[in-house]
Amino acid sequence: MTILENHSLKAHHTFGLDVRARYWAQYAGVDELVELLHRFADQPKCFIGEGSNLLFTGDFDGIVLHSAMCRAAALNETDTEVLIEAQSGLKMDELIEQLAAMQLYGLENLSYIPGQVGAAAVQNIGAYGVEVKDCIDSVKTLDLSTFETRIFNCEECQYGYRDSFFKREGKGRYVITAVRFRVSKTPILHLDYGNLHSCLAGIDNPSPEQVRQAVIAIRKQKLPEVDEYGSAGSFFKNPVIAAPLYDTLHAQYPDMPSFVTSNGYKIPAAWLIEQCGWKDKQSGRATVWQQQPLVIVNNGNATAEDILQLAQQITDSVNERFHIQLEREVEYI
């Protein structure tokens, strides 16, 4: 267990803002977490993974809690699949790297996304036609009111697009301690999203490692390395709009990309933002990334206010032009 007071969070979240926490604590087991919760019962609490999907809007006057539980192990195996339990503090990309090396399919499309296993299950991360829920069997949690373990099956997690029970009703009541994934020994490939298929052209039945390396190459071309330019990856969700608005916009913009969903049409937020002329524009030291307008970066010594202002300006301009209200992926703290 590690406890630090008046601790800088600059190295603990991917925007890299120089904000501080009254207390910072790292726990290596559930017993240590329970001890911290009792000891700091009167403090506001923030659970953090790699901090890759949040924006600290200022100093945090409470305790920031970080999981250092990083083990993964197979619980069960059949002829077709393996049940893996990974603890919350393990980096998601390290888990995917291990699974790809073991020739296990299912999560390789999520390669190179910053973040830890616990946070991935909260956010329901997704990329290239795959969401993490597609492989989640169950989620192990600690009930913060009773300090008892509760296991949620995948249905109980109420997963949606970048959404889950743990972002809504379960927020502040449960903290994830481990996630169980079902991964396949036989190919389950999703290669039709973006230019993933073309990157693997000429490869019949690519291995998980080949898909993983293609995904990494694409992400490196489009997205900034967070150790060079602080960011939280995609800042906004892709909006889903109803048919009447879609018909109106499609008549005005016949080349507008879209995807049919169960409740409307999903429009790429990156396209909307680019149409409004935001690529490479900035506010203070915050900038819209040239290669991917969904990403806002800390161009060096940006403040939270720089990022907040830029995000609001983008939201306002998209709403004014397209009558679409963008929702952010990034959580403000």
Domain ranges of the chain: 2-67, 72-222, 230-332
pLDDT of residue 228: 86
Tell me, which fold does domain 230-332 have in CATH?
Answer: 3.90.78
**Residue 27, pLDDT above cutoff 70:** yes
Calculate what percentage of the chain has a pLDDT beyond 70. 100
Catalytic residue among 162, 180, 182, 328: 162
How far apart (Å, rounded) are the C-alpha atoms in residues 188 and 258?
25
Structure tokens given for 114: 């910053």
Mean pLDDT of 111-121: 96
Catalytic residue flag (residue 234):
yes
**Residue 186, pLDDT above cutoff 80:** yes
CB hemisphere CA count around 138 (13 angstroms): 10
pLDDT of residue 185: 97
pLDDT of residue 178: 98
CATH architecture classification, 2-67 = 2-Layer Sandwich (3.30)
CB within 8 A of 285, min separation 6: which ones?
298, 299, 300, 301, 302, 303, 306
Tell me, which fold does domain 72-222 have in CATH?
Answer: 3.30.465
Confidence of residue 51 (pLDDT cuts 50, 70, 90): very high
User: Which run of H or E residues covers position 183?
Assistant: strand 174-184
pLDDT of residue 241: 97
Give the number of other CB atoms < 10 A from CB of residue 273: 24
Catalytic residue flag (residue 329):
yes
Q: What is the pTM of this model?
A: 0.91
Question: In this predicted model, what pLDDT tens digit does every residue of 286-313 receive, in sequence order?
Answer: 999 999 999 999 998 899 999 999 999 9
Catalytic residue among 111, 234, 283, 317: 234
CB hemisphere CA count around 172 (13 angstroms): 6
pLDDT of residue 195: 82
DSSP string spanning 261-318?
ETTEEE--HHHHHHHTT-TT-EETTEEE-TT-TTEEEE-SS--HHHHHHHHHHHHHHH
Confidence of residue 194 (pLDDT cuts 50, 70, 90): low
